[in-house]
A and B are shown apart, each in its own frame.
Chain A
């Protein structure tokens, strides 16, 4: 693998940047692998990377039906934070946060991780009580966080309307300074390049259409393009399509797939240097390095597999954004798109063994899994390497819906995160 550096950039400029190495191969799959990962999103690619790099399992294939990072990974609003209420979730997301902090160096690929801080606004007394509870819980878990009043919020984001006579006045916020954003495509590409360099085969434009299961044990997958490919273990990381693949393996998951939308505005001068989220009016925004406002909407009320989403939802989101930032009322929106997110009843992911031996699922990240990309890949890789779930993943077993040990972040966070 070619090492990226300032010197390399200078050297390649002499040949007009025409001789850069391809950043991953395009191999024909082998007949058999130690591990097959289904799904080339951020989570699947991170899993492959850590499997090869940290756990020495290099006979690995990632099988992706479209192109790498073409799913939710490069469709999200890129918010990274770890201020979850419940210990189990806080530990998992903080594990991820620590990996984010060294990721660009580790991958030798700039994922543009920017710790610009994140505000979660409170608009009611109950919001403020929940915020205090969550920040205290975070601090007990060693995660940075502060409770701010409206005045302090206004100092951080002067363009936010914090006047008390609004319909939904800003009463305060939780503030996680280490939170931020990352360049989502770069995250997928960085992990892909790293995995490829360690020998992982990245197989694109190939759909897994079925599993080969013998005596309750998975021994491979069937693909539309290369037929059967065998493996000792299979890990599925297919986000919105998880229910469809689980059905092929003969079991159900407690998931519902919904379209979730994002929109970006025309680029404007730097005006917002942090992430602002509001559960109550439901809108969140940040500004990309390019200058466009990146705005997240809510999920459609009904299930669907269409990567676009309904108009009513956009309207509702923009009402919330203009309520918070009247200054944005005349900014034009440039583009809008959707992703299919797999939501769980308790708004926490499933990183789990399944009723089929050697078949593992990592899914249910819903509206908030981008922040977990390195952490999810890391604990899933550890689990696939050993054939036994990593400690941090154990609370996220799919069987928690049978034994009642839910990790109910919905109760804590209310909405999309």
Chain B
């Protein structure tokens, strides 16, 4: 069971209150009509899936319902840091 710190509620809560929403920092192409099929497909479907450090988007679904980012090790499950959307992580995935 993960204990996750919500940067909006400013407290630790149990994993069950949260939902993981996949890879963080995915930027929607500014001009989708100008994208090649490859660029669009990659934006839609291709995700980082590292065995190690990963930046993820989470939502405090059964709490404040706000989104935030988590840097987590997908092998050890250790949560390295939690930061708000718009902020930069201090630990960067290779």
Do the beta carbons of B19 and A345 come within 8 Å of each other? no
Other than the given A243-B50, A303-B22, A306-B75, 5 more pairs (CB < 8 A) read: A244-B49, A255-B47, A304-B75, A310-B2, A312-B1
Confirm or deny: A402 has a beta carbon within 8 angstroms of a beta carbon on chain B.
yes
Do the beta carbons of A402 and B41 come within 8 Å of each other? yes
Q: In the complex, which residues of chain B have a beta carbon less than 8 angstroms from the beta carbon of A305? A: 51, 74-75
Do the beta carbons of B37 and A304 come within 8 Å of each other? no
Confirm or deny: A311 has a beta carbon within 8 angstroms of a beta carbon on chain B.
yes
Q: In the complex, which residues of chain A have a beta carbon less than 8 angstroms from the beta carbon of B54? A: 303
Nearest CB in chain B to that of A300: its residue: B20
Q: In angstroms, how far is the closest chain A Cβ from the Cβ of B18?
A: 8
Known: A252-B46, A255-B47, A303-B54. A310 touches B37 (CB 8 A): no
**0/1 string, B36-59, CB within 8 A of A gives 1:** 011001101111111100101000
Nearest CB in chain B to that of A306: its residue: B77
Confirm or deny: B16 has a beta carbon within 8 angstroms of a beta carbon on chain A.
yes
**0/1 string, A199-221, CB within 8 A of B gives 1:** 00000000000000000000000
Contact of B16 among A253, A257, A312, A401 (CB under 8 A): A312
Do the beta carbons of A304 and B74 come within 8 Å of each other? yes
Confirm or deny: A323 has a beta carbon within 8 angstroms of a beta carbon on chain B.
no
Contact of A243 among B45, B49, B72 (CB under 8 A): B49
**0/1 string, A380-412, CB within 8 A of B gives 1:** 000000000000000000000111100000000
Nearest CB in chain A to that of B19: its residue: A301
Confirm or deny: B15 has a beta carbon within 8 angstroms of a beta carbon on chain A.
yes
Confirm or deny: A336 has a beta carbon within 8 angstroms of a beta carbon on chain B.
no
Do the beta carbons of B37 and A256 come within 8 Å of each other? no
Known: A306-B77, A404-B37, A404-B41. A255 touches B49 (CB 8 A): yes
Nearest CB in chain B to that of A242: its residue: B49
Confirm or deny: A241 has a beta carbon within 8 angstroms of a beta carbon on chain B.
yes
Tally of chain B residues near chain A (CB < 8 A): 25
Contact of A310 among B1, B19, B75 (CB under 8 A): B1
Q: In angstroms, how far is the closest chain A Cβ from the Cβ of B87?
A: 20
Q: In the complex, which residues of chain B have a beta carbon less than 8 angstroms from the beta carbon of A311? A: 1
Q: In the complex, which residues of chain A have a beta carbon less than 8 angstroms from the beta carbon of B56? A: 302-303
Which residues from 61 to 81 on chain B have a C-beta closer than 8 Å to any C-beta of chain A? 72, 74-75, 77
CA distance A222 to B42 in the complex (A): 29
Q: In the complex, which residues of chain A have a beta carbon less than 8 angstroms from the beta carbon of B44? A: 345, 401
Q: In the complex, which residues of chain B have a beta carbon less than 8 angstroms from the beta carbon of A302? A: 20, 56, 72
Do the beta carbons of A303 and B16 come within 8 Å of each other? no
Which residues from 3 to 28 on chain B have a C-beta closer than 8 Å to any C-beta of chain A? 15-16, 19-20, 22
**0/1 string, A243-274, CB within 8 A of B gives 1:** 11001000011111100000000000000000
Known: A301-B20, A305-B74. A345 touches B45 (CB 8 A): yes
CA distance A311 to B2 in the complex (A): 10
Do the beta carbons of B46 and A253 come within 8 Å of each other? yes
15 residue pairs A–B, Cβ–Cβ below 8 Å? A243-B50, A244-B49, A252-B48, A254-B45, A257-B74, A302-B72, A303-B22, A303-B54, A304-B75, A305-B51, A305-B75, A312-B15, A345-B44, A345-B45, A401-B44
